[in-house]
Amino acid sequence: MNSKFISILILVFLMTNLLNAQTTEEMQKVLNEKQAAVATKNAEVKALEEEIAGIKKKLIVYPDWKIGASGTIGANFSQFDKWLGAGNPNAQLINYGLTGGAFANLNQKKYFWKNGLNINVAKTKLIIDKDDKDLADTTRFETTADAINLSSLFGYKINSQWAVSALGEYRSTFLNNFNNPGYLDLGAGATWTPIQNLVVVFHPFNYNIVMAKDNVSYISSLGCKIVADYKQALPMGIAWRTNLSAFVSYSDANNFSNWTWINGINFTAFKGIGVGVEFGLRKNKQESYNTFLADPTVVNPEIITIDNFDDSTYKGDNPLQTYLLVGLTYTISK
């Protein structure tokens, strides 16, 4: 009797354990299935959220204002003490430069209005040991770069890519010789925006007004204005912008035309702060010619005017003007 009772207890115990094991395996299987279903749903939700974000990014809510500003600051300090291999063995050189840009662009359903401001300034001071009697001592900062550019473009949209447009652009210096010379372009034509962040302006009806004084010779003329502006955000916080502004004169394309091309690359590391490089190119024969006229070695420069300009009269050339600035950057945008 006792042996039978013990056998029955052992059998019940074994059956209970077996049932519990089967129940645990079944529950684990169900749990795994539910977790896989949740993961699938989460992936679907994430994909839907990305689609919604993409649609919101493309969706334009009028009025669509975009406002921003950025700047690059570069500085250099050099000191020579009895460094005989240098031209000035006892001297200090301090140089700093600043480039900055700001924009305010309005986009409406039927028209757009784009406004921009760019400046470029550099100062240099050379301090030479006063004991060096043969060398002059410069104790104040001299302006070595000075430029300002203001532009305003209005366009009435024909379709998603083309617009009838009008442009006003002013270029000059603002620290020294303000508006001497100053260039004001006023014109009308068409603006093409084939892709996002690319704006191409073609204005065949443009008057290039050149303002100057101090007995220099500049000529205003009618011509074609071409502007191309492109900016792109690249991976790793890198932003690239390039801007070309050119004027082709109908009166004398060789002598009265000019162009300026500015390129900038910024790497933003932390809260708008980063490192930037800006490089500029320019060709302007009228500026080169008037620099030639201002040369005191020219005999009777007043009898030479831009009207009778030719290569035999002009002994100089039309050099490619360049500038380069590397330094810290700060960018804000809205």
List the domain boundaries for the chain: 1-59, 63-333
Q: Work out the pLDDT band at 133, boundaries 50, 70, 90.
A: very low
Query: Could you report the per-residue pLDDT of 226-244, keeping only the tens digit for each?
Result: 999 998 888 887 888 999 9
Assigned fold of 63-333: Outer membrane phospholipase (ompla); Chain C (2.40.230)
| 182 three-class SS | strand
| Type of residue found at 271 | K
Determine whether 40 is exposed, middle or buried from the number of CB atoms within 10 Å of its CB (0-12, 13-18, 19+): exposed
The predicted pLDDT at position 37 comes to: 84
Q: Work out the pLDDT band at 79, boundaries 50, 70, 90.
A: low
CA distances from 209 to 60, 100, 181, 251, 256 (A): 37, 25, 10, 13, 11
Per-residue pLDDT, averaged over 287-304, amounts to 62
Give backbone dihedrals phi and psi of 28, rounded to 5 degrees, phi first.
Answer: -65, -40
Q: Which long-range contacts (CB under 8 A, 24 or more apart) does 10-17 make?
A: none
Nearest to 217 by CA among 306, 84, 278, 119: 306
Give backbone dihedrals phi and psi of 96, rounded to 5 degrees, phi first.
Answer: -140, 150
Nearest to 184 by CA among 201, 170, 167, 203: 170
Q: Over pLDDT 90: what percentage of the chain?
A: 26
Count the neighbouring beta carbons within 10 Å of the beta carbon of residue 226.
Answer: 18
* More confidently predicted of 190 and 270: 190
| 293 three-class SS | helix
- DSSP H helices in the chain: 2-58, 253-256, 285-293
| DSSP category for residue 300 | S
Residue 192 makes CB contacts below 8 A (sequence gap 6+) with: 161, 162, 199, 200, 201, 202
Q: The tokens 């998603």 sit on which residue?
A: 160
d(CA 228, CA 184): 18
Q: The tokens 């708008």 sit on which residue?
A: 272
Lowest mean per-residue pLDDT among 87-91, 97-101, 282-286, 327-331: 87-91
Nearest to 115 by CA among 180, 199, 189: 199
d(CA 49, CA 57): 12
Per-residue pLDDT, averaged over 46-53, amounts to 85
Note the pTM of the prediction, 2 decimals.
0.72
Q: Over pLDDT 70: what percentage of the chain?
A: 73
d(CA 298, CA 117): 37
Evaluate whether 84 touches 129 at the Cβ level (below 8 Å).
Answer: no
Lowest mean per-residue pLDDT among 51-55, 178-182, 185-189, 218-222: 51-55
